[in-house]
Amino acid sequence: MVVSREGCHLCEQMLEQMAELERTAVIPAVTVVDVDSDPDLVRQFGLKVPVLLLDNSVICHYTLNSNELLRLLGRPPAILPR
């Protein structure tokens, strides 16, 4: 799950990178949740978005750490084009 916010350029970048990663590696489907839609998420993350969660654990925030995500999923590291 990616916790995001409307108009957040870092959120857009992370979602683009997640889409690229989905094309090169088998990863769970990405669900996007707007942080402002849930008071609990606002309290938990506030301005610290985007946040990538896997099984309710924070994997990374602000920028995608694809290697950490793949490590936790038991997949080999990915080389993403820039």
| Tens-place pLDDT, residues 49-69 | 999 999 999 999 999 999 999
Say if residues 44 and 38 touch (Cβ distance below 8 Å).
Answer: no
| Confidence (pLDDT) at 75 | 73
Task: Write the CATH number of the domain with boundaries 2-73.
Answer: 3.40.30.10
Say if residues 50 and 9 touch (Cβ distance below 8 Å).
Answer: no
- pTM, entire model: 0.86
